[in-house]
Amino acid sequence: MHRRSRPRIKLAGSLSLLVSLPTMLVAFARYSRDGGFAVLGADLRFAGLMATGSIAGALLGGDSYLG
């Protein structure tokens, strides 16, 4: 990989966060206002499995990218 690629990767990651973070915050606010989180509270096992899978995928994906 060329040295010039790293700043582009950082810029792409920053721009991605710039777009996705406000979108997620608005969705979170609307979802909580509509009472959507009550559904997750009713099925905590499912939410826990989804969170565990997400974390495992991030760790494995990050490891394969760095390794």
Element (H, E) at 15: helix 5-33
Q: Which residues contact 47 (CB under 8 A, 6 or more apart)?
A: 40
pLDDT tens, 8-67? 777 887 888 889 999 999 998 998 888 887 877 788 898 899 999 999 998 888 766 665
Q: How many CB atoms lie within 10 A of CB 5?
A: 9
- pLDDT confidence bin for 2, thresholds 50/70/90: low
pLDDT at 67: 55
Residue pair 47/40 in contact (Cβ under 8 Å)? The answer is yes
**pTM for this one?**
0.47
